[in-house]
A and B are shown apart, each in its own frame.
Chain A
Amino acid sequence: MERPSELPQRTANEGTPIRLGGWVSRLAGNRLLQRLGSILLVTFGVMLIAFTLIRLIPGDPASILLGEGASTQDREAFRELLGLKGSLVQQLAAYVGGILRGSLGTSVESRQPVTQFIASRLPVTLSLIGVTISMALVLAVPIGILAAIYRRTWFGHLFRITASALVATPTFFSAVVAILLLAIHFNLAPVAGYRGNFPANLRYLWLPALVLCGVQVPVLARVLQSSIVDTLEQEFVETAIVRGLPRRTYVWRYLLRPSLAPTIALLGYIIGTLLGACVIIELIFNLPGIGTGLVQAVTNRDYPTVQGIVFVFGMIVVLVNTSSDLVSEWLDPRLR
């Protein structure tokens, strides 16, 4: 649900200046080191935020959950469970140590380790995100190209208005309308539920993914459109026209490939909105992902699980950010 207007503009010719006169050979190493450094910083930042979440609770969490009547011995055990023992620094060290060892604490409600709860649900969310992204790319690329080429015609204006309207439409409303029309009325997809293994679960995932695409496709298409418009002004596109190259080569090699990379670079940023929407869509379509897990944990005030899921969400964003940066730099050396 981020606003497109605040997406950072890293299109090919705006951000990193293209150094014309002979590339300065730079140490590839420090670029990698620098990236690794920033990943670690953001990861530590996410850990810090997840860590401070529990400290936000007004009053003593143990008394909130256990009630006033609980004995001090029970309360101490509970504070142990929440990792609230010792000084703040010790707690942070214990928390970070725990994460490195792969444990995110134990759930208050089911007394099972949080990692197990998340592990059983993560594949559902990841497959939903995977299907949505691939569907969004398949839909956004053609629309982006058409919007760029015909931007001065009625199609361009219609695209701009419908895109900003779709981006603002609440996902859960479009989900309800989708269920009403596609699932119930035309019976094209199951109303809710999920089945495990790969090919079978596509039947349950395509409708939620389509609803998510309602927001992702306009955003992606707009980013692609703006980077294609930038590419159109490039000199090498003029060369392609002047050479009278066949239309297909012209569109693919001279229009699309140079503009794909900046779009994929922004994909990492757009994933944030996708994950936010996933939470609601999973609930409406009853997909047992970490989104419903989070809602369940929030309603049951299961603090360690909430903390763990927030951390996992952060990691997904960081992971997708890094991989989209790597892919875009591999695709287009100018972004390096």
Chain B
Amino acid sequence: MVGSSPQVEPNLWQRFLRLDPQMRWGLVLIVLIILLSILVPLLSPYHAERSADTPLLRPSFAHPFGTDQLGRDLFVRAFAAARLDLLLALIGVSIPLTIGTFIGAVAGTTRIAAVSYLWRTVVDAINALPFFVLVMAIVAMLGQGVTGILVAIALTNWARYARLARARALALRDVEFIQATRLLGYSGARTLLRHVVPNVYAETLAYGLSDFALVIVAIAGLSFLGVGVRPPTPEWGAMMSEGRLLITSEPWIILFPGLLLSITAISVALVAERLVGRSRGEFF
């Protein structure tokens, strides 16, 4: 409105400064953890799975996080674990995101009445069941380990994205430009692909970020119960369950991986909450 100097494209740093503190802190922490999870295992002299020193050393300069029962350096293991957890969570979110969005969009646009009944039984039932319980049950059937977890999370999480996508697609159905496409004689598929899915995708993507925080915690939770990734592979949940034994005498074994997991989950959640809040104009 007020005439001012031509809007110069703000570079990344200026745009970063303009973000509100919650978003800024979140991003800083996430980037920090990702950087460390790449650098620490590379630069550190110790190997994540082989014993480095006498067991159960207190946190010292040589071993910032101390050593566990088998003498392995926990600082390296914690950040090696970060790599695995973040990777698993990334896959654990992206697969169900794409499947769920597509199915939801299709279910939202089709006119077949039976779809809504089928939907109410299958998808609402999956969403009714607690996420963690269903994932554990599927892992029991498919067998433990990384693939088991990823498939279980995909089979459970797609329903949440599908429901979101369907709701958005239904809302879009009577929006003018969708009706216009039907008037212009576009085929159902073309409307769906060119118009509905991109619209729905914007929303589920934002939701996917807040889901990312949950999936990291779920994966760690599974391994904590001894049902997910199994020792001796470095993984936050497994490390915490190993350290739980010595909670009275050497509490840092369980607290440091837990702290890292919490900080990652919290920072992703804080960033997601700003994004999701803004993109859906939702007050929370």
Contact = CB atoms under 8 A, between A and B. Distances in A.
A38 B224 CA distance: 36
B269 to A, nearest CB: 3
Interface in A257-304: 272-277, 279-280, 283-284, 294-295, 297-299, 301, 303
B120 A5 contact: no
A53 B156 CA distance: 12
A41 interface: yes
Nearest to B134: A310
Contacts of B132: 1, 276-277, 279-280
A77 B2 CA distance: 83
Interface string A1-40: 1111110010000000000000000000000000000100
Nearest to B161: A6
Interface string A158-176: 0011001101111111001
Nearest to A4: B284
Interface in B212-238: 213-214, 217-218, 220-221, 224-227, 237
B124 A45 contact: yes
Contacts, number: 197
B244 A176 contact: yes
Interface string B255-277: 10011011001101110110011
B270 A1 contact: no
B136 to A, nearest CB: 5
A41 B122 CA distance: 9
A56 B124 contact: no
A169 to B, nearest CB: 5
A48 B207 CA distance: 28
A44 B157 CA distance: 20
Nearest to A61: B141
Contact of B128 (A42, A54, A226, A297): A42
Nearest to A56: B141
A275 B133 contact: yes
B258 A1 contact: no
B251 interface: yes
Contacts of B272: 3, 5
Nearest to A321: B128
A46, A58, A172, A321 — most chain B CB neighbours (10 Å): A172
B224 A301 contact: no
Nearest to A170: B217
A176 B247 contact: yes
Nearest to B276: A5
Contacts of B121: 41-42, 44-45, 48
Contact of B273 (A5, A171, A297, A299): A5
A276 B131 contact: yes
Given A168-B268, A313-B129, A184 B248 contact: yes
A280 B247 contact: no
A314 interface: yes
A155 to B, nearest CB: 16
A172 B224 contact: yes
Given A9-B282, A168-B266, A169-B262, A310 B247 contact: no
A250 B62 CA distance: 62
A57 interface: yes
A45 B120 contact: yes
Contact of A45 (B125, B224, B225, B244): B125
A313 B133 CA distance: 8
A1 B217 contact: yes
A314 B125 contact: yes
A279 B133 contact: yes
A1 B210 contact: no
A93 interface: no
A42 B141 contact: no
Contacts of A226: 283-284
A56 B121 CA distance: 19
A42, A168, A180, A280 — most chain B CB neighbours (10 Å): A168
Nearest to A45: B125
Contact of A168 (B134, B138, B143, B269): B269
A310 B262 CA distance: 28
Nearest to B120: A41
B202 interface: no
B131 A173 contact: no
B88 to A, nearest CB: 15
A45 B122 contact: yes
B251 to A, nearest CB: 6
10 contacts: A2-B214, A3-B213, A42-B121, A53-B141, A170-B258, A179-B247, A295-B227, A307-B137, A317-B129, A321-B128
The 4 closest A-B pairs by CB, nearest first: A45-B125, A168-B269, A276-B132, A173-B258
Given A170-B258, A272-B129, A313-B130, 16 more contacts: A1-B214, A3-B213, A3-B276, A5-B277, A5-B284, A6-B207, A42-B120, A42-B125, A45-B128, A48-B125, A57-B141, A170-B221, A177-B255, A280-B221, A283-B225, A294-B133
